Structure formats: structure tokens, C-alpha cells
Chain A
Amino acid sequence: MKLVLSDRALDLTPSDRFRFVDLSKLKINNCIGCFGCWTKTPGKCVIRDDATNVYPLIAASDEVIYVSRVKYGGYDVIMKTMLERAIPIQQAFIRLVHGETHHVQRAVAPKRALIVGYGDISKEERELFLRLIARNAHNMNFASHRVLFASEEEAEALVKKEVSAWTNS
């Protein structure tokens, strides 16, 4: 499965080749850090809102494009809220990945990930965002990843170009 996860509306033509989730249209509450998805109802978040439909898509996808405004060198609120709510796809238990301790994944497909960070992004923010995505790669099962930056105006065209490469392949 291919997935585009975005914090804003994008004019993407629906296709059976990929799923598109506009997080800005969904009701997703903050993670409350209860560890319920690890220790009470493993694999299921105790907050039954729209996030419970999204993290299974993240887990099942082997190609993803995440589209997020960049703030302080990280994801802005909408995307970060969803990624925090995606921890049911991991176990509480710890393993070694490249010699570092990280959580064990449940049935999470290894991913080719493209992260599109958009906005008015300084050099320092770009460098920090690149470091963040490198950390995500270990914790979110990215087999490979790329990061592209764009202005707010250019982001949609950039994503459409990447998606058309999917649909034409």
C-alpha cells in the first residue's frame, strides 16, 4: 500500500494506487501517555477517535509521503499529533537497532519514506529537521528515506509530482 499523509488539503486525484489522508479534516486528540496501547489493549489506542483509522494505514504502507509544515525544526502540530498517536503500532518492548535501543514494531511494513517539509524554513531548521527524520527512520521502520523542502505555495506541486511517479510506475 502507498499512503500520502498530509497536514493540509491537497488536490490529489483519487486512485486505487494510493491512499490519501488529509489530517486537517480529521478529529485527532492528543496522546495522553497512558501506555494503554502497550499494556492494557495492546495494538489499540484507548482514545477511539479518527487516529484509530490512520495508524493501521501507516503500519500497512510500504511507501509513504508525509507532508507537514515545519516548526522549530520538527513537524507542526497536526502531523506531530498524529505521529504521537501512532505508538500502538509499536510494542513496549525494546530491541537494538543499529546498536541503539528502540521499540519493537508490530506488523509494520518497512517503508520507503518521503518527507515533504514546507513553510518558511531557515537553514538551521532544515538541518534539525533532517536529523529528526533520521531519528524517525529508526523508530518508524523507514527502510530508506528522502526529505524535500518547499515553500507553502510549492508544496502541493511537489507532492503531485511524486505521486504521479507512483501512479506511472
Chain B
Amino acid sequence: MDKLLILNASPRAPKSNSKRYAQLFANACPAESVCRNVNKNNHAELIGAMEECSDLLFVFPLYADGIPVTLLRLLKDMEETPPQKKPVVSVLINCGFLEPAQNDVAIDMVRLFCAQNGYDFGSVLKIGSGEAILDTPFAAFARAKIKKLALCIAKGKKRTLKVSMPLPKKLFLRASRSYWENYGRKNGVTKEEMSTMRIEGE
């Protein structure tokens, strides 16, 4: 690997968990890397940056069971005006659910894009409980797998890795409830208000 471009395709890129994952990856990566956020207006610039890189890592959250629109739009532009030199594409995806396998469809969307457009597909890290894991004692597990992903990509290995909180599901449900209740409390919103069944007040 010569140089790696890390693209954060989270819809809330500047304040996202994906930003934290991308930073951890960059710190662990033995090769030169550059990290950029994806937005609607910088696709041409990012595709230009791909020309200078041997490898590309997409970092993004699972969104409505698939890739976020932020990434979908970029992939379509990469299809429309591809870089002349196509990097190897790897994926670091996280979802808030406990099961890393819930990310599989989104990963296969990127894999399919690569197959259709002549990109070599590299390695994957799929993270479950990704909304909260970095703020728990289990963060070390996530960091270790991110480091392993970085080494796999650096060595040109194609591996699929996964990590999640090692919790029984019922305990995870309790922990996630507590996490979201605290999130609401910081906004002055009670758990009862967060549990409303009303939609648009109706």
C-alpha cells in the first residue's frame, strides 16, 4: 500500500462516530493516510484525491438497512466519472444494533458497486453496538479490531472482521436504554417523552 484515502460518509460527518472510527484507523495505519468528509459538493475533489491513492477506506454508519445516501451519491458519481487509477476499496461500517451481521447488506452494496465498476474490494470491519462502544470499557476491543483492519489493508490482505460489545442481548437492551435516556436527559427530554407513540404530534 502506498497511500490511503479515508472517506467519512456519515450524514453527520463532522460530529459523527464515524469520525472517531476514522481517526482511530488513521492512528493505527502504518502507511500515509489522509481523511476527508463526504458531502454533496465535494465529489469531484474526492475522486481527484483517489487518483493519488492505492487504497480507499469508506467509513460510514448503517442507515435504514443500507448505505447512507451520502455514500450512495458519491458511488454514483464515481461510476459516472471514475478516477483513472482505481484504488482498492475497503469498508469500516458501524451500526447501533448489537449484531455486526446487520451491516452485511450495506457491505455487499459496496462490494456490488466495486464488481460493477472494476474496483478491487479489500477488507471489511463491521462493528455492532457502534453508537456507544467507544464510550464503554469495551472500546479496547473496537480499537484492537481497527488496528487489525489497518494492518490487513497495509499488507494487501482481504479479511472480514467484526466486533461488538460482548453482552447478552437482554443486558444490551438495558444498557442501550440507559444510553439513550442519558442522551435525552442532556436535551431536557424525559424517557417518557422519548417513548411517545405520537408522530408529528398526532
> Is the Cβ of B199 less than 8 Å from the Cβ of A107?
yes
**Residues of A participating in the B interface, judged by any CB pair closer than 8 Å:** 30-35, 38-40, 42-44, 52, 55-56, 59, 71-77, 80-81, 83-84, 86-89, 91-96, 99-102, 104, 106-108, 122, 124-125, 128, 131-132, 135-136, 139
Asked if B187 and A40 make an inter-chain contact with CB atoms under 8 angstroms apart, the answer reads yes
Of residues B66, B73, B172, which shows the largest number of chain A Cβ atoms within 10 Å of its Cβ?
B66
Complexed CA–CA distance, A72 and B96 (Å): 23
Q: Are A77 and B115 in contact (CB under 8 A)?
A: no
B174 CB to nearest chain A CB (Å): 10
Given contacts A55-B199, A80-B64, A100-B99, contact A34 B116 (CB under 8 A): no
Q: Does B76 contact A (CB under 8 A)?
A: yes
CB distance from B153 to the nearest CB of A (A): 22
Determine if B12 and A32 form an interchain contact, defined as CB atoms under 8 angstroms apart.
Answer: yes
A100 and B73 within 8 A (CB):
no
A93, B180: Cβ atoms under 8 Å? yes
Task: A43-B197, A107-B199 given; name 12 further pairs at CB < 8 Å.
Answer: A33-B11, A33-B16, A35-B183, A39-B187, A73-B108, A74-B67, A84-B64, A93-B194, A96-B169, A101-B169, A132-B66, A139-B64
Contact status B99-A101, CB under 8 Å: yes
For chain B residues 175-202, which have a beta carbon within 8 Å of chain A?
Answer: 176-177, 180, 183-184, 187, 189, 193-202
Q: Please tell me if B98 contacts chain A, counting CB pairs below 8 Å.
A: yes
A157 to B138, CA, bound (A): 53
User: Contact between A43 and B201 (Cβ–Cβ < 8 Å)?
Assistant: yes
* Shortest beta-carbon distance from A108 to chain B in Å: 8
What is the minimal beta-carbon distance from B182 to any residue of chain A, in angstroms? 10
Of the candidates B11, B76, B201, which one forms a contact with A77 in the assembled complex, judged by CB atoms under 8 Å apart?
Answer: B76
Chain A residues with CB under 8 Å of B109's CB are: 72-74, 128
Contact A42 B194 (CB under 8 A): yes
Residues of A within 8 A of B123 (CB): none
Complex CA distance for A41 and B99, rounded to whole angstroms: 28
Q: Does B102 touch A at the CB level, under 8 Å?
A: yes
> B31: CB under 8 A from chain A?
no
A91→B72 CA distance, assembly (Å): 25
B-chain residues with CB within 8 Å of residue A99 when the two chains form the complex: 169
Residue of A nearest to B98 (CB): A101
Q: Which residue of B lies closest to A53 (CB)?
A: B200
Residue on B with the closest CB to A87?
B64
Is B58's CB within 8 Å of the partner chain A? no
Write the chain B residue with the least CB distance to A105.
B197
CA distance A40 to B194 in the complex (A): 8
Contact A128 B105 (CB under 8 A): yes
- Is B183 a contact partner of A71 (Cβ separation < 8 A)? no
B183 & A74 in contact (Cβ 8 Å cutoff): no
* Residues on the A chain within 8 Å of B54, using CB: none
Residue B90 CB within 8 A of the other chain: no
B:58-90 near A, CB below 8 Å: 61, 63-70, 72-73, 75-76
What is the bound-complex CA distance between A100 and B176, given in angstroms? 14
